[in-house]
Structure 1
Amino acid sequence: MIELAKSIVSKSLKKGADECDVFISIDEEFSATVKDGEVESLKQAVTHGLGIRVFKNKKIGFAYTTDFSNFAIEKAIEEAILIANNSTPEEDNILPQVEGKRQNDVKIFDPNVNSISVDEKIKIAFEIEKFAKSYDTRIGVESTGFGNLIQRRIIANSNDFAGEYEGTLFEIYCSVIATENSQSQTAFYNSVNRFYDNLEPPEIVAQRASVRALQLLNPKKIKTGRYPVVFDPMSAAVILSYISQAVNGKNAYRKMSFLSDKMNEKIGSEILTVFDDGCMDFGIGSKPFDDEGIETKKKVIIENGFLKMFLLDSITAKKFGQSPTGNAYRRYNTIPSPSPLNFYIKPGDKTAEEIIKEINEGLLVTKLIGFGVDIVSGNFSKGASGLWIKNGEFAFAVDKITIADNLQNILENIVLIGNDLIFFGNIASPTILVSEMTVASD
């Protein structure tokens, strides 16, 4: 495949392109879902495609194909060049110069991926269901599952870069519904890792999903007001996902982020530090180089509350007069754009229990629902469920409430950060305590 990518670059230059890069992706996917002791769905699939980006007179053309035959590739090259000829030139439209040829030796591929049988994968899904059903009579299991993915990426460009890597992903999950007194609450819990042996045990996944649902039963009303709000790691990661959009260089350059003009300004609490680390071993978003061939690295995005960096691909970086940050992401059918890798809040030293004990009256959010976030203004309003806290202890469940504020206020008002950082995806956070937000009951 790397020779194929190189040959496409060569052909593109011969057909008139000034510069060219090629991105090839091959994904081998497996998934199994289980319900009521039966296999509900089973999927094994391989998808592949290649994208060709050409530069001509500072104009960009792009085409892709899932057909790797010579005829289809030749046609895609010609299409990309035709599009470039009819595009608008921009001064920043040039390929990145990849500095050096060293690539990170990052642990993202489990060599045992092909030794795990289909029967074993399905058995794990059955075990999760069994553990959940036996945990509490009030628990009904909506579905459990096992999935894994083998990713292969190949990149070559006319600046003499060529590289490839393989990565694996494994996930097990449990989705449950708890019922009592004619009321029901749903919950979900998953474990994701690059390596199979690093997944949480099936019984833990089942238990945590069950507990999350059970603790929301029999909710009570609260009085609308301004209260301290604790976000558990799952809900805090949702908050952080909006921050990752706000520090996306493309959004910032287009003035489509509330942080667009805040570089080097204080935009959060002094205890808040946010990293983006693309070379973390076992990281869900880790890779040796980004999708333009730029080596990944660990970067400080927010440091002690100060905004230090936007996430940049090469073209967006040129618009800022900066170097790319190794955050280019693309699929075979898209051109590169900035995206977070492993984006997370630096953990503190308090346990979640210690944080709860600090609160006289407030809310622990365990589930966020719906939309209601404007990245341009930072305005935030979402439905939520969780637990009401009184005198440092859980008092009762709350449901169908709304929490609202501005994202920058949320960042500025983080007063405690937990030590329980956990990655359910490539964006992760420990428990965080925001000193005050509007909490409204329906």
Structure 2
Amino acid sequence: MTQSLSDLSDQILSAARRAGADAADAIAVDGTSLSITVREGALEQAERSEGIDIGLRVFVGQRQACVSSSDTKPETLITMAERAVAMAKEAPADPHAGLADPSQLARDLDTDALELFDPSAEPDPAALQEDAIRAEAAALRNKDVSQVQSASAGYGRRRIHLAATNGFSAGYARSDRGLSCVAISGTGTGMERDYDYDSRVFQADLRDAEEIGRIAAERAVERMGAKKPKTGAYPVLFDERVAGALIGSLLQATNGMMIARGSSWLRDAIGQEVLPSGLSIIEDPHRVRVTGSKLFDAEGLATSKRAIVDKGVLTGWTLDLATARKLEMESTANAARGTGSPPSPSLTNISLTQGDQSRDDLIKQMGTGLLVTSMIGSTINPNTGDYSRGAAGFWVENGEITYPVNECTVAGNLREMLRSIIPANDGRMHLSRVVPSLLVEGLTLAGD
């Protein structure tokens, strides 16, 4: 009979105690992943992996160490615990390290209500292959598509259990189902590439394979004949597909680790306006059927809905226990961890206030400028917020898309950019990061 993750976690915590740890926590993860890729109607690659991993963090006084293993035999767990304690004894003391007080621990542990796991049977590899073939065939039906770079379908499921010597012990399961297609239009130096994809918790929610292939092809064809845009200062509309990265730059600057190091361009901005006054960024870890949802964080604290930015004003940082202690604040229950490292602050689900205009409305409003649909590279100064990224998309003249563009750079300062954003109403509600298309005035474009 397969050993439960709860029993496995209890065993390694007991081994840590016997080895001399004053306190410890453990994470056990098992799962399966399956990925199928097709090319020219035939199977190109099939991958399947399954296994179990366990991570242990021990404390000796205020010294800590982490170890991990994919071998869960009893003798291995004992060796892991002994090595972790020996490592902790040699580690420097950290006055901020330590487990949560039992009074801080989450009480609601029934994750089933969040619907993070599809109980239906694992899809047959032949069914995944058929989905990928259908997506590829749909893309190739577009006469201007020269080839499909890849069409892939995948499935994954994981069980996670967290336990600690402070009394916390809870687990949950997650599943995901994905489908993607990358199409190429044109030939030679005139080739252009674009994609479409979908990823869901439940198979039944996944978009149709033919729709994904068709949209990937249409996007690739729309980019044919791309050229560099004009150099100068213009409004830039970040398409919904890339707008999340812009808001992500703000969220990264609110991470407690960056604040504790003093390396964030928002380090003194609590209580200041960082977005237009009508916009908020809400973290909601309890959204149903959304991949980032969780009832408790990696340190066992109860998660809750909060406004990171409230009506334009920054309200606080994203914190785990250690960064909260460094900053003399309370944890926001945002700890996340893998099996081989200690917890660190990480967000769950976020959403930006959506506007009352469509993306097309904003294109008309911007007059002359750039619609960005894809980005490459990133140069962001974490201390000043100076921002520069390679971009491609479409040039807009007099409120109308006129031609595709590539090989250009968009630059500005994040503090100024974010305070002028105008959101559309096209954020996709099933995503963990719900951010609509965003219009930003007066950015610098480097093109011809």
Q: Aligned residue for 1:89?
A: 93
Query: Is 1:8 aligned to 2:8, yes or no?
Result: no
| Percent pairwise identity | 28
Distance 1:170 1:346 in 2: 28
Distance 2:204 2:379 in 1: 38
Distance 1:38 1:402 in 2: 38
Q: Aligned residue for 1:232?
A: 239
C-alpha displacement at 1:180, in angstroms?
6.3
SS of match in other structure, 1:237: helix
Alpha carbons of structure 1 residues 267 and 313: separation in structure 2 relative to 1, 3 Å: same
Q: Aligned residue for 1:25?
A: 29
1:16-415 pair list within 5 angstroms: 16-97=20-101, 98-103=104-109, 104=111, 105-114=113-122, 116-179=123-186, 183-414=190-421
Distance 2:321 2:424 in 1: 35
Q: Aligned residue for 2:436?
A: 430
Distance 1:425 1:257 in 2: 27
Distance 1:328 1:335 in 2: 9
Distance 2:430 2:221 in 1: 21
Instruction: Check the 8 A contact 1:241/1:427 in 2, yes or no.
Output: no
Alpha carbons of structure 1 residues 179 and 19: separation in structure 2 relative to 1, 3 Å: same
Instruction: Check the 8 A contact 1:173/1:188 in 2, yes or no.
Output: yes
Instruction: Check the 8 A contact 1:422/1:429 in 2, yes or no.
Output: yes
C-alpha displacement at 1:425, in angstroms?
6.0
C-alpha displacement at 1:423, in angstroms?
6.6
Moved more, 157-166 or 258-267: 258-267
Instruction: Check the 8 A contact 1:240/1:428 in 2, yes or no.
Output: no
C-alpha displacement at 1:344, in angstroms?
3.0
Question: What CA RMSD, in Å, does the superposition of the two structures yield over aligned residues?
Answer: 1.8
Distance 2:279 2:132 in 1: 38
Aligned length: 440
Distance 1:325 1:151 in 2: 25
Distance 1:244 1:91 in 2: 27
Instruction: Check the 8 A contact 1:62/1:79 in 2, yes or no.
Output: no
Moved over 4 A (4+): none
Instruction: Check the 8 A contact 2:146/2:187 in 1, yes or no.
Output: no
Instruction: Check the 8 A contact 1:191/1:424 in 2, yes or no.
Output: no
Instruction: Check the 8 A contact 1:138/1:180 in 2, yes or no.
Output: no
Distance 1:428 1:380 in 2: 22
Q: Aligned residue for 1:439?
A: 445
Distance 1:172 1:99 in 2: 38
Once the two structures are superposed, residues 266-316 of structure 1 have per-residue CA deviations (whole angstroms, 9 ceiling, x without a partner) of 122223321222221111212232222222222211122211121111111
For residue 91 of structure 1, what is the amino acid of its counterpart?
P
SS of match in other structure, 1:335: coil
Instruction: Check the 8 A contact 1:113/1:168 in 2, yes or no.
Output: no
C-alpha displacement at 1:214, in angstroms?
1.6
Once the two structures are superposed, residues 124-160 of structure 1 have per-residue CA deviations (whole angstroms, 9 ceiling, x without a partner) of 0000001000133334211101011101111000111
SS of match in other structure, 2:286: coil
SS of match in other structure, 1:371: strand
SS of match in other structure, 2:43: strand
- Unaligned residue ranges in structure 1 (runs of 5+): none
C-alpha displacement at 1:331, in angstroms?
1.1
SS of match in other structure, 1:399: strand
C-alpha displacement at 1:343, in angstroms?
2.8
Distance 2:37 2:280 in 1: 38
Distance 1:424 1:184 in 2: 32
SS of match in other structure, 1:388: strand
C-alpha displacement at 1:221, in angstroms?
4.0
